[in-house]
Structure 1
Amino acid sequence: MPETVGGIPIHPLIVHATVVAVPLAALLVALAALWPRCRRWAGPLPGVMAAVALALYPVTTASGESLEHRVGPDPLIEKHSHLADGLLPWLIILLVAAAAVTWLWWQEAHPRSAPARRPLVLVAIGLIAVLAAVGTVQQVVRIGHSGAESAWGDSGGS
C-alpha cells in the first residue's frame, strides 16, 4: 500500500471513508433492528455496510501504523493507536448484529421460512444492535478526537 498520495499521507484520506462508513453502518443496523419498515426498505444493506466497515478497519490501521513509523514516537499517537485497537471488537459485534438483522429481513421476506417474530428474539436482536451501534460510534468519536489531538496538538490548527 502506498504511504502517500500526492505527497499527502494516505491515512487521513482512508480515515475519511472509515469515519463515514462505520457510523452509517451502525445507524442502518440499529434502525433496521428496531424499525420493521426500515428493515424492509434496507434489505441486506445493513449487513453490507457492516462488512464494508469491518473491511476498512485493517486498511485504516495499516495506513495509520505506516504513518506512525514515519512520524516517530509520540504519546498522543500511541493513545490514538491504542484507541483504534479497541474498535475491532465493536465492529465484530456490529457485524453479528447486522447478520441477525439480515436474517430477520430474510425471514420476513420469505414467510414460508421459520417465523422470526418471537418477541424475545426481536428484543435480543434490537438490544445487541443498539449496543453495537452505540459502542461503535462512541469508539469512532474517541479515536477521531485523539487523532485530531495528535495531528493538531496545541497548535489550534495553525
Structure 2
Amino acid sequence: MESTIAGLPAHILLVHGVVVLVPLTALGLVLVAVWPAARVRLVWPTVVLAAVTLALVPVTTEAGEWLEHRLPRTPLIRAHTELGDGLLPWAAGLAVVAVVVAVRHVVAVRAARRVPATAGGGAPEVPAGTAPGGTVATVVVAVLAVVVAVGAVVTTVRIGDSGARAAWTGQVAEQPLGGSQGETDRG
C-alpha cells in the first residue's frame, strides 16, 4: 500500500493528528473520570475521541513503517520506530477506560432516574455511589484514567522527540546561512 498524501509521506502528516489527539483524549478522560460535572457533558465526546485516536495510531504507525523502509537505516530512526510501536497499548488503554467511564455513567444515570425528581422539578441528579462498584470503584477508575492518560502523553512526547531527532539531527546549521529572507545587512 502506498503511503503518501499529496506526494508527501503520510506519516509526517498523520503524526500531527496523533500528537494532538492523544493529549486531548487524555485530558478529556481525566476530566470525565474525576469530575462528575464534566462527565455529564464530555463523556461521549471523550469516547469518540478515544476511538478516533485508537484508529489513528496504527494507521500512523503503518505509514511510519512504510517510510522507514525508504530511509537510510540509522540508530535514531531505529530508536524512533521502536518507541513508536509502544503507543498502541496506551491508545487502547485510553479507549478502554473511556468506555468503562461511559458505561458506569449510563448505569448511574439510569439509577438516578429511578429516584424521584428533585423539588425543583428538573432532572434528578446522579446520586453519589450509584455507579457500579460505588465510591471505591470510582476512585479506582479515576486512578486508572490518570495513569493511562499520563502514560499515553509521556509515550507520545518520547516518540515525538525521537522522531524529531531522527529527522533533524545534523540537518540544521549552527549559524544562519547567507541569503535567507529577513536577514538584514549589518555591514
TM-score of the aligned structures, taking structure 2 as reference length: 0.78
Question: How many aligned residue pairs are there?
Answer: 158
Give the match for residue 30 of structure 1. Answer: 30
Deviation at 1:44, TM superposition (A): 1.4
Alignment deviations for residues 96-149 of structure 1 (CA, whole Å, 9 cap, x no partner): 211111113212332258931711011001000000000000000000000000
Amino acid at match of 2:160: G
Which structure is higher in RCO with an 8 Å CA cutoff and minimum separation 6? 1
Greater CA drift, 136-145 or 3-12 = 3-12
Q: Distance in 2 between matches of 1:50 and 1:43?
A: 11
Higher helix share: 1
Give the match for residue 131 of structure 2. Answer: 116
Q: CA RMSD in A?
A: 1.9
TM-score of the aligned structures, taking structure 1 as reference length: 0.92
Alignment deviations for residues 59-116 of structure 1 (CA, whole Å, 9 cap, x no partner): 1011000110011311111100111111122112211211111113212332258931
Give the match for residue 147 of structure 1. Answer: 163
Deviation at 1:12, TM superposition (A): 0.7
Amino acid at match of 1:50: A
Give the match for residue 53 of structure 1. Answer: 53
Unaligned runs of 5+ in 1: none
Task: Provide the identity percentage.
Answer: 44
Q: Distance in 2 between matches of 1:136 and 1:56?
A: 14
Q: How does 1:95-114 map to 2 (within 5 A)?
A: 95-110=95-110, 111-112=112-113
Give the match for residue 15 of structure 1. Answer: 15
The runs of at least 4 aligned residues of structure 1 exceeding 4 Å deviation read none
